[in-house]
Structures are given as structure tokens and as C-alpha cells.
A = this chain, B = another copy of it.
């Protein structure tokens, strides 16, 4: 509760400073905030307050904030700013972040902002926008050191000194050497410049053995690349080996983390990207419903198994107590196996083709846990009604259905991945629909077989 108070104070203070138009104090205050605090502050200002705040901040500081908060929120803010203001802020961002935001805007709005941006910045954004967002071209940034092979150390040093303000923001400290037509020729480290004579040409001292990647390679390939190399970044080239950008290790790590987050949210039924509670209620409700309405149909299909066996159920009404338990527990067991498979897929401990191997590995676990859970629920049923057969029916159903759920849960993600269907999204619904149906079917079928011993329960 203390946090709420201190936070409200921060929010109040910022709103007061905004209202009073105290730029400097505002900027100082914001400078002291951590990334989380900035996020919390911004998402809890209303739209009008957000706009006033961003109008008061310098474009540099505004850009910094937009890079720290979720993209979703940043896009809302950009949309409400005047085109000129938005362009000035975007000018200050790194090229990959610029492209990420502009991609989310309406075409008209994006075009208007690009028109207002510095020509050089706009051009680099347009180049990035031409790529798919999850390939090297879409994730690269265009802030990097590149000089021509026929330049002397002296001319490079002078350029570095003259543009030191601009270069300070460059994250990758390698110097790439290119031909006059832009073809990547080699690389240098900063200290190589210090050690060589001033009149030597770059072509004399460059390192020719250099790793580079094609502009169309995918995030997965980039992850592998950085796994096998120690570089902080890698140059990206086109078909003619012309240098078009650099991909940073840190950006790939971040993309990897984002993908993991998206997968987690998808597996819990938040699809189409992140949801922030500051999004409009109708949008949030609609996005969540898109997933729920598929699920309710699947649920109805599964429950139809009960409807079909309604006669058995009406003779043994006690079974109605166990149907939800059996379907829910099988779902839990299956989801554990799904989680392990998703994790093993992501670290490479299993490949999509290894369905049979996983099946073998899950069979034993499913059998053990099925028997233990079956005994538990069987005993509970027996103790409740004093009828051995009731215990046997529900115990056997849960045992078998757990085995099935664990085997399915372990293998379904691999099969979906192999079929190029997103396993994070589809594994859960597929799993629970099948295990629900089978759970109901097994329980009611076993019961109908033992009906003469179960009458009147």
C-alpha cells in the first residue's frame, strides 16, 4: 500500500509540473526514474496529461521514454501528438525502434510523420520497413561506423572527432570498411586506428575475415549466430554484399525475450500481442473474446459426450461430481507436459521430429501419476459412497485419462511445431478438448459397464 501512496505522489507531482509548465524540473525528475517507474507513470496518466507531458519534454527525452515503455503504449502517444511533434521525437530514436513504432501506425499517419522527419532518418526507416519484422533487415539498426577503404586514418579520425556528438549514441564500436559502391570489405577495432600511422589507408590495415549475415535471415538463425559467436553485433549485407545495417546481440536477446513473453501470453489466452489495462475496454473485451468463443465451442463439443451418455449419468448421479474433477485434473497433467515440451523446444533439448522419443519419456510419468491420482480419487469415491465399484470406475477413468493427457501434452507441441502451427497458441485448446471428451467418455463407459453395481448412487 505504501507503494500506491508514493506512486500517487509521483503522478501528482508530474501532473503539477506539467500544469505549471516547469520544463526543467520535469525533465530532471523524469531523469531519476527507472524504466518500471516511467512505465507506471505514463500508463496511469490520462491521454490529455500524456500529450501535455510529451509536449513539454525535449524530443531526446521523449524519445527515451518511448523506447522504455511498451510499444503498444508508445503508439497511442504518437497517435495523439501532432505530426510535427511526433516526427521530432522519432528523429531522436534508434532506427530499429523508429521502424517498430511506425509499422504499428495507420499507413496515412505513418506517411505524414515520415514526410516531417529528417530526410536521412525517414530514408533509413523506409529501408527497414521494406523488410519482414522478424528477419535481419527488420531488426537491424542503421547507426554504425562505416568508412571507405581508400580513406586515410587521418580523415577517419577527423570525421570521428567532428561528429563525436552523433557517434556517442552508436552502440557498436566496430568500424566497418566498405568500397565506394558500398560493398563490405572488412572491419577494424577502434584501437587499430590508434596504433597505425595517420597516412595509411584503411585497406592496408582492415581485417578481411569478417562474419556477416544476409538481410533476409530469420530471428532463429540470428539467435544461432550469436550463440556460436562472441560478437556484440554483426553486419548485415544484401545480395551484392553491400552493407545495409548491423544487428546487435542485445537486440536479438530482447527479441528472444519478447517472443517468450508472447508465447506465454498466448498460452494463457491473450492473443494478438500484449494487453495493457489502459487500452479501451471494448478492444480488450473483444480480443479476449476471440479466444474464449473458440474455447466455448470446443467445450460444448466435449460436453456433448455427457449429453450422449445422459442415461448412465441419471442412473448414477454421483458421477456428476467426478466428471469436472476428472476433466480438470487431466488438463493439469497435460499442461505440465505441454510446458516441459515448450521449454525443451525453446532450448533445443528436443526437435519437432522427435515425437516418438517424447512419447516414450512421457508414458512412464503418465502411468505413475495416473495410478497415484486414480487411487486418490478412487479412494475418495469409495469413502464417500461406500461403493467399491464407484471407486474403481472413477479411479480407472482418471488413471487412463491422465496417461492420455500426459502423452498428448508432451507430443502435441512438437507435432504443431512440425506443422508450422504456433504451439503456444493451439496446444492448450487441442489438449483440453480431447482430454475432456475422453475423460467423460471413459468415466461414463466404465460406469455403464458396472451399472448393475452402481444403481441408485
Using a CB–CB distance below 8 Å, which chain A residues touch chain B?
A: 1-5, 7, 32-37, 39-40, 43, 68, 70, 194, 224, 227-228, 253, 257, 260-261, 264-265, 267-270, 274-278, 281-282, 284-285, 288-289, 291-293, 295-296, 299-300, 302-304, 306-307, 310, 313-314, 317-318, 320-325, 327-329, 331-333, 335-336, 338-340, 343-344, 347-354, 358, 361-362, 364-365, 368-369, 372-373, 376-377, 380, 384, 410, 418, 432, 436, 440
Contacts and interface: CB of A to CB of B under 8 A. Distances in A.
Contact of A350 (B277, B331, B380): B277
Given A336-B291, A339-B270, A364-B285, A300 B380 contact: yes
A371 to B, nearest CB: 10
Contacts of A373: 289, 292-293, 296
A368 B404 CA distance: 36
B348 A35 contact: yes
Identical copies in the complex: 2
Contact of A285 (B284, B328, B369): B369
Contact of A292 (B4, B5, B307, B333): B333
Q: Name, among A70, A306, A318, A377, the residue most crowded by chain B CB atoms within 10 Å (CB to CB).
A: A306
A348 B299 contact: no
A369 B287 CA distance: 10
A36 B33 CA distance: 37
Contact of A276 (B1, B7, B33, B344): B344
B324 A264 contact: no
A340 B224 contact: no
Main secondary structure of the interface of A (DSSP, over half): helix
Contacts of A291: 332, 336
Given A35-B228, A40-B351, A340-B277, A299 B314 contact: no
A3 B336 contact: no
B323 A323 contact: yes
A365 B318 CA distance: 36
B369 A288 contact: yes
Given A296-B325, A376-B296, A384 B307 contact: yes
Contact of A313 (B68, B228, B289, B317): B317
A27 B380 CA distance: 58
Contact of A365 (B288, B304, B349, B358): B288
14 contacts: A3-B351, A3-B352, A40-B349, A260-B264, A277-B340, A277-B344, A278-B349, A288-B365, A291-B332, A293-B376, A295-B332, A299-B329, A300-B377, A310-B317
